[in-house]
Amino acid sequence: TYEGGIAGEPGSEAHGGYTFCGLATMILINEVNHLDLAGLIDWVVFRQGVECGFQGRANKLVDGCYSFWQGGVLALLQRIDLVTGDRLSHFDSGEEDSTGNSTSEGEDTDGISSAAEETCHFKNGDQQDASCSVNYTSSSHTRSLGNVEMEPLFHSLALQQYILLCSQVEYGGFRDKPGKPRDFYHTCYCLSGLSVCQHSCSKDYDSPSVPGQVLGPYSNLLEPVHPLYNVVLKQYREVREFFSRS
């Protein structure tokens, strides 16, 4: 559309869900060069609101599900050279340990937790700390980016804060926003968006998260998902291997 995003039909406004599906489709059929990627990036980055979450359309409220629909678009765009054409096979080249754990043996996980805690005071079940906002100027976030190969196109820690503090329901599941009921749809895409955030600084989705990428304790870390299909990488590889034998 003239806004930069992708709509469901001609004459409609750009929408986060259609934008992700449109971009992913164009990548899969090797036609992404026909999109105005600069305009697309511009539209998506301005959908992250002051509440830290993403809105699906201009002048709408933020919604937890767009953590993936919009965050996933930016994850694809910042790795466009890896996911276009034959280079999609890059995602099959990673090795995992026998337990399927995405962390490497002997990895220092304490640094991830402590660096995240420096940025947000959501820890130790302290209700007062949980209401504290992300410190956008925290040196821990900036410092961590020096240890990785790319910088995310959105504020990943801020988005994690919205998912964990606003979309997460205390007794399980995720929702659109506070005041809304939890449901399977929002639980799926909030978790997918959270995974995208946690791996947003790595060129290779198999790379372990580094200090500053994971908000809160290290136990919050999720498995990486394939950016085009929103499927955990391990399951994606199993399916691909199965059908390649046919």
Supply the residues annotated as catalytic: 15, 57, 60, 63, 65-66, 176, 183, 186
Name the phi and psi angles at 216, rounded to 5. Answer: 90, -160
Rg for the chain, CA atoms, rounded: 18
Q: What is the C-alpha to C-alpha distance for residues 9 and 166, in angstroms, rounded to an integer?
A: 32
Amino acid at 149: E
- Which tokens in the block code for residue 129? 């700390």
Alpha helices in the chain (DSSP H): 16-28, 37-45, 66-78, 80-83, 110-119, 127-130, 139-145, 156-162, 184-198, 233-244
- The answer to whether the beta carbons of residues 111 and 211 sit under 8 Å apart is yes
Q: What is the C-alpha to C-alpha distance for residues 69 and 6, in angstroms, rounded to an integer?
A: 12
How many residues are given for the chain? 246
Query: Cβ neighbours of residue 141 under 8 Å, at least 6 residues apart?
Result: 115, 119, 157, 212
